[in-house]
Each structure stands twice: as structure tokens, then as C-alpha cells.
């Protein structure tokens, strides 16, 4: 009986120390994690709302959770660029979180970017991979294909030689240009009724990642989730009581 009591006390002590350790680490890193998440979301907003001049305005109440917030962006002329929101859906092995930008009339998607995912390496993770444009010629002669300007209407690059002041303000300097992954690029200028997954290449639909159809559908669901949030805030149902 005495040994059982000793074992119980020892186990309780170990559990208590482990709990205190985990809690301490969480408290010490909580602010850092939150700042990093804010930086990721802020950069994503500039990606899905190209042409954004200043920090986007929130159109949701201040008490709204980070994941449910809806933003609107204006260009340097004060014109509305569009709206943006986060969306989330369950993938094959993880929650997939995206940021989605919509046109002012909510007719089409301006662009999306993946905020978080932990899918199967080599399959689902291809949603964030950029197709390499490196050739044997470029390796031998040291010439890479010319990158597209992220600030242009057609580009998704962030030039290092002229970092926008808005990016500097949030400490989001990039050491190299970042192209838009092919999978995410196909959402650009898609209407809601075109968010249909197909295994065969189709410019009017969303082509699935080979061997990762579940992950593909999850991204589509996450995008739809973000669109629903935007529409629910910008164009609430007529029956909704204010």
C-alpha cells in the first residue's frame, strides 16, 4: 500500500511539473506567436488585395475573432479594391487556412494565399509549391527568367529593390522574390460557381493536385468559407435583424 501511495505521489508530481512547464512556455511565447500570426495575415492581405495603399480597414466588430474578421482595402486614390477574409476547412491530415480577396461587387476572386497547412509532404503540400522555371541554360549561364512585378495587376512578386513602405511598417521585408504557386494562381478571377474540383486540366474549374484530391477540395471549401464570411458581412441576408 505504501508503494502505491509513493507511486501516486511521484506520478502526480511529474504531471504537475510537466503542466507547469508547458504553461510557462505558452505564456512566454504567446505574444511572439500572436505577432507572427498578425504578420502572416497582414502580408496575405497585401497579396490578395494588390494595390492596397495602407492597412486594410476591418468591417467586422472589434470583438470578432481573428479568423472571422472581414477587411476592405482602398488604393492610393481612395477607391475600393475589394474585400478579404480568412477561411478554414479540414484537409486530409490538417486544418487548411486561407486568405481570400474578392472584387468590390463580390463577383470574382482577386486571389488567394495559403496561411497554414500540414498536409502530406510531396502531395498536399504542393498547394504551396512554386513550379521551378530554372533550366539547364540558366544554371550554366546564371540567367534566371525575368520575374513578374508583384505590384502590377498581373503579378504576384514582392521586389526587393523597392519595398513598399506599408510592408516595411509591419517588418515584412523579403530577401527574395516570391512567386504565386500554380495551384493558388488558378483561383484568380474565378467566380463562385467555378469553384468545382476536376482531375482533368480545365481553366474554368479548379484542377486537383495529383494524388491529393481531398486536400484540393479542402482548399476549395476553405475559400468558400471565406467568401461566405465576406458576403455575410457586406451583403447580409434581408431577413437579418440589425
Establish how many alpha carbons lie within 13 A of residue 37's alpha carbon, considering only the half-sphere containing its beta carbon: 12
pLDDT for residue 161:
37
User: Alpha-carbon torsion 116, 119, 124, 125, what sign?
Assistant: positive
d(CA 52, CA 91): 31
HEC sequence for 29-63: HHHHHHHHHHHHHHHHHHHHCCCCCCCCEECCCCC
Provide the pLDDT for residue 172: 44
Residue 133 is predicted with a pLDDT of 59
pLDDT of residue 196: 94
pLDDT in tens, the chain (242 residues): 677 778 788 888 888 888 888 777 767 776 776 677 777 788 889 989 998 887 788 889 988 888 899 999 998 888 999 999 999 999 999 999 999 999 999 999 999 999 999 898 888 888 988 866 556 665 666 555 554 444 444 433 333 334 444 444 444 444 344 577 899 999 999 999 999 999 988 889 999 999 999 999 999 999 999 999 999 998 766 555 44
Distance CA 101, CA 86 (A): 9
Ranges of each domain in the chain: 2-234
End-to-end CA distance of the chain: 65
Amino acid at each position: 500500500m505504501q508503494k502505491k501511495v509513493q507511486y501516486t505521489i511521484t506520478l502526480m508530481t511529474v504531471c504537475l511539473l510537466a503542466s507547469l512547464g508547458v504553461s510557462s512556455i505558452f505564456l512566454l511565447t504567446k505574444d511572439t506567436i500572436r505577432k507572427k500570426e498578425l504578420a502572416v495575415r497582414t502580408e496575405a492581405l497585401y497579396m490578395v488585395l494588390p494595390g492596397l495603399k495602407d492597412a486594410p480597414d476591418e468591417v467586422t466588430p472589434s470583438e470578432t475573432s481573428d479568423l472571422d474578421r472581414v477587411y476592405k482595402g482602398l488604393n492610393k486614390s481612395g477607391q475600393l479594391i475589394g474585400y478579404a477574409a480568412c477561411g478554414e476547412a479540414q484537409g486530409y491530415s490538417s486544418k487548411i487556412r486561407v486568405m481570400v480577396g474578392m472584387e468590390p461587387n463580390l463577383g470574382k476572386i482577386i486571389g488567394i494565399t495559403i496561411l497554414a497547412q500540414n498536409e502530406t509532404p510531396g502531395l498536399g503540400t504542393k498547394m504551396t509549391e512554386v513550379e521551378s522555371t530554372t533550366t539547364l541554360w540558366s544554371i550554366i549561364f546564371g540567367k534566371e527568367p525575368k520575374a513578374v512585378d508583384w505590384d502590377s495587376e498581373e503579378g504576384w512578386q514582392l521586389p526587393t529593390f523597392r519595398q513598399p513602405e506599408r510592408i516595411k511598417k509591419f517588418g515584412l521585408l523579403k530577401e527574395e522574390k516570391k512567386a504565386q504557386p500554380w495551384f493558388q494562381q488558378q483561383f484568380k478571377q474565378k467566380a463562385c460557381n467555378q469553384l468545382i474540383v476536376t482531375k482533368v486540366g480545365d481553366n474554368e474549374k479548379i484542377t486537383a493536385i495529383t494524388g491529393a484530391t481531398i486536400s484540393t477540395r479542402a482548399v476549395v471549401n476553405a475559400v468558400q468559407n471565406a467568401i461566405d464570411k465576406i458576403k455575410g458581412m457586406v451583403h447580409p441576408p434581408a431577413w437579418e435583424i440589425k
